Chain A
Amino acid sequence: METPLNQQPAAQPRHFLMGNEAAALGAAHAGAARGTGYPGTPSSEILDEFNRLGGKAEWAPNEKVAAEVALGVAFAGARAFATMKHVGLNVAADVLFTAAYSGVDGALVIMVADDPGMASSQNEQDSRRYAVAAGVPMLEPSDSQEAYDFTRLAFEISERWKIPVLLKLTTRVCHSGSIIVPREPAPPAPPRFERDMRTHVMVPGNARPAHRRLRAKLAEIAAWNEQNGPNILVAGAAGAPGIITAGSSYQYAREAAPDAAFFKIGMIHPPPLTAALAFAASVKRAVVIEENDPVLADALRAAGGKIEGAPEMFRFGELSVSRVRAILAGDTTPEPPPPKAIPPQLCNGCPHQRSFTTIKKLGCIVAGDIGCYTLAAAPPLSAMDTQICMGAGIGVGLGLRHTLPRAEARRVVSVIGDSTFFHSGLTGLAEMAYNTPATGHVLIILDNSTTAMTGQQHHPGTGWHLDGTPARAIDYEKIARAMNIETVATFDPLKDADAFETALRDALDNEKLAVFVLKRPCVLAAVALARKTGAKS
Chain B
Amino acid sequence: MEDVVQSLSDGHELIAFRVGRQEFCINVMMVREIRGWTAATTLPRAPRYVKGVINLRGAVLPIIDLAIRLGMPGSEPTARNVIIVVQLSHRQVGILVDAVSDILAANGAVIQPLPDVTSDLVKSFVKGLLPMDGRMVSLIALDRVLPPEELEAA
Q: Do A and B come from one complex?
A: no
| A interface residues (Cβ-Cβ under 8 A, vs B) | none
| B interface residues (Cβ-Cβ under 8 A, vs A) | none
